Amino acid sequence: MTPLLKINQLKKYYPIYKGVFKRKTGDVQALREVDLTLYPQETVAIVGESGCGKSTLAQCVIRLIEPTSGSVTFLGREIAHEPKEALLPLRREIQMVFQDPFSSLNPRKRIKDILVEPLLYHKVCQTEEEALKLAKETLAEVGLNEGALNRFPHQFSGGQQQRIAIGRAIILKPKLIILDEAVSSLDVSVQAQILNLLASLQERYRLSYLFITHDLQVVEQFADRVFVLYLGKVMESGPTKELFSKPRHPYTEALLSAAPKEYPTEKRERILLKGDLPSPIDPPPGCPFHTRCPYAQEICKEPPPHKSDGPQDWFCILDLTKKKDISNL
C-alpha cells in the first residue's frame, strides 16, 4: 500500500544568535533525522516527553514552520520545501486540531463564519447559502445543533469548543487530520466522547490521523502504530499492541512504566530516570538516551545500526529481555 504521508530524514534546527552583531553560535536541534510513514485510514501516534519535538514535527508537516532539511511526501508529492503558494490546493487535504480549542477559534467570529469561511475560500461551495447548509450538517455530525451557528466561541464549554474545532477540520473533507494534544485539556469523560467522535468520523470519511499526545492510555486504545520521540529522534516505532507488550528500547519501557495503573492491585515497577534531559543544543552522540539509561554501555555512544526493512528507525541494540544481566556488565 502506498503511504499517504512519508517523512524522510526530517530536521528542524533553530539557530542561536548572540552578541551585538548577532553572530550564530549554535542550533537548537528540535528534530533530527526523523523517519515516519502513515497509510490511508490509519492512526499513527507520536509520544514522548515535553520538548521532544512532537508539535514541531506536526507543524513541519503542515508547513506552519519551515523544516531545515529532509522530505515530507503527501499524496506522492514532495511538500517540505515548495513555495507556500504552490501548496494552496493541498491545504484542504491536511487539517489540524490544536490542544487549546479556545485559542484556535477566532473569538471575534461567530461559529457560522468560522465554518463557512474555509468553504468559500477553497471554493468547496459557490454560495453562502450552500456553505451555511453544509455548516449545519457538520455541526450535527459533531454533536451540536444549528443554534450554535450564531454564538461565539466563549459561549461554549471546552468540550463543545473542541467539537467545533473538529467540525472546522472535517468540513473540507480532508484526507489527513493532525491532532496535536487534542484531548489533553479536557476532562476524562469528555475525552472519551471526543475520541469516540473521532473514531466514528474516521470510519465515515476514511480519514487518517497523526495523533500527538503524552497520554499512553489513550494511545493504547486509539492508535494503530506508535512512534516514540526523545530529544528530536525516533527511539522506537511499531504496532501499538506489540510496542506496549514488548518494548525494545529502555526509554519506551520507562514511559510505559509511568502510565497510570488500570486497577489498584496491578503490580508494576516504576522506572525512575536519573539525571536531567540533555540540552538539544548539544545532544549526546549515538543513542541520545544513553546519558540516563540504566543499561547503557560504551557501544551506546555510537550510532546504532539501522533496520534492513521498513522505515529507517533507530532502535536499541541491547536485549531488554536480558537487561538485568546487561546492567551488571
How much is the pTM?
0.89
Q: Which three cell numbers stand for residue 177?
A: 487530520
Burial (CB count within 10 angstroms: exposed 0-12, middle 13-18, buried 19+), residue 276: exposed
How many whole angstroms separate alpha carbon 316 and alpha carbon 86? 40
Return the pLDDT at 114: 95
Map out the domains of the chain with their CATH numbers: 5-93+174-327 (3.40.50.300)
Return the pLDDT at 15: 94
Question: What mean pLDDT is predicted for residues 241-269?
Answer: 83
Distances (CA, A) of 285 to 191, 278, 318: 39, 11, 17
Q: Are 307 and 315 in contact (CB under 8 A)?
A: yes
- Digit-coded pLDDT (tens) for 2-41: 899 999 999 999 999 998 888 999 999 999 999 999 999 9
Q: Are 62 and 54 in contact (CB under 8 A)?
A: no
Return the pLDDT at 305: 58
Q: How sure is the predictor about 257, in pLDDT bands with cuts at 50, 70 and 90?
A: confident
How many whole angstroms separate alpha carbon 228 and alpha carbon 248? 11
Q: How sure is the predictor about 101, in pLDDT bands with cuts at 50, 70 and 90?
A: confident
Tell me, what amino acid is at 58?
A
Question: What mean pLDDT is predicted for residues 101-120?
Answer: 92
Question: In 180-233, which residue ranges form alpha helices assigned H by DSSP?
Answer: 188-205, 216-222
pLDDT at 112 over 80: yes
How many whole angstroms separate alpha carbon 301 and alpha carbon 292? 12
- Digit-coded pLDDT (tens) for 137-185: 999 999 999 899 999 999 999 899 999 999 999 999 999 999 998 888 7
- Digit-coded pLDDT (tens) for 188-232: 888 889 999 999 999 999 999 999 998 888 899 899 999 999 999
pLDDT at 260 over 90: no
